[in-house]
Structure 1
């Protein structure tokens, strides 16, 4: 007589918030990427792919969206550690905006110009205080926080 064992695979929203971070990061990344493609095409076509020895808009978009997803997971991890930051839609959007500003200050203002200058012939300004980039990072963060909150509810 044979016995059967049934297994069920369930997901807990508690342990899959990283997926919400990816989703929010991708939504924010699409909007921010569109803004960059229109306002700063040289960044999307040259600087971003240049950090990895590549060139062109398709490579720039792929890398930008990959960064957006990974940084969305980092946001979700922070929200798990500090749940009050994402306790409501408003607080999550606010946390996302602050997160976007921090990303801009650290990654766009400091890290990216050093990295691009080290691996390409370009000589980006340092620090790279670009207002359009700040606006894009804020939009990214707000959308990340909003999508994250909407999916958690």
Structure 2
């Protein structure tokens, strides 16, 4: 057996579905981490507010289920984005800055996860959610989407997503020609 196949087995998923599995799992685990922050800082959001945006009554773990489903969808989107040549090329590019040149693909994926989480925070709860709530007239509760807890939760979601994705998916030697 060649050393290359041993390396692939030892360091993570490859192939056409690796990014999907890594994104879904990373998104689910990131959503759980974010959910814990929400429960600690704003307990009613998961139980009542998240189901309310879909016109649903609070019912047990429904809010958690919806929140984790959101995380899975966003995680798959992250996996899709970071494995495209134009973003993967940037993540793998050698740079002249000493600090960045010493980081590997794992640290860069965690950073990309952080940027993704902050972007999600800037788009979904700050722009999409208020429009959704006012247009559909559902979820009349006030959402503290601009609160520090929401920002912290989305940042944590992104960092955990990036870390889990980096741990599961092997991108070290994928697309050796880094197109930019």
TM-score for the superposition, normalised by structure 2: 0.71
| Corresponding position of 1:9 | none
Q: Distance in 2 between matches of 1:29 and 1:48?
A: 13
State the secondary structure of the residue aligned to 1:47.
Answer: helix
Q: Which has the higher relative contact order, 1 or 2, with Cα contacts under 8 A spaced 6 or more apart? A: 2
Tell me which protein shows more helix as a share of its residues: 1
Of 2, 15, 20, the match for 1:18: 20
Report the 3-state secondary structure (helix = DSSP H, G, I; strand = E; otherwise coil) of the residue aligned with 1:15: coil
In 2, the alpha carbon distance for the partners of 1:86 and 1:19 equals 20
Q: Number of residue pairs matched?
A: 141
Which structure 1 residue ranges, 5 or more long, are not aligned? 1-11
Match of 1:27 among 29, 37, 41: 29
Go from structure 1 to structure 2 and tell me whether the alpha carbon gap of 1:19 and 1:121 turns closer, same or farther (over 3 Å shift). Answer: closer
Deviation at 1:85, TM superposition (A): 5.7
Alpha-carbon distance change, 98 to 13 in structure 1, aligned in 2, over 3 angstroms: same
- Alignment-derived partner of residue 124 in structure 1: 142
Residue 146 in structure 1 maps to residue 163 in structure 2: yes
Unaligned 5+ segments in structure 2 are 1-12, 93-104, 171-180
| TM-score, normalising length: structure 1 | 0.83
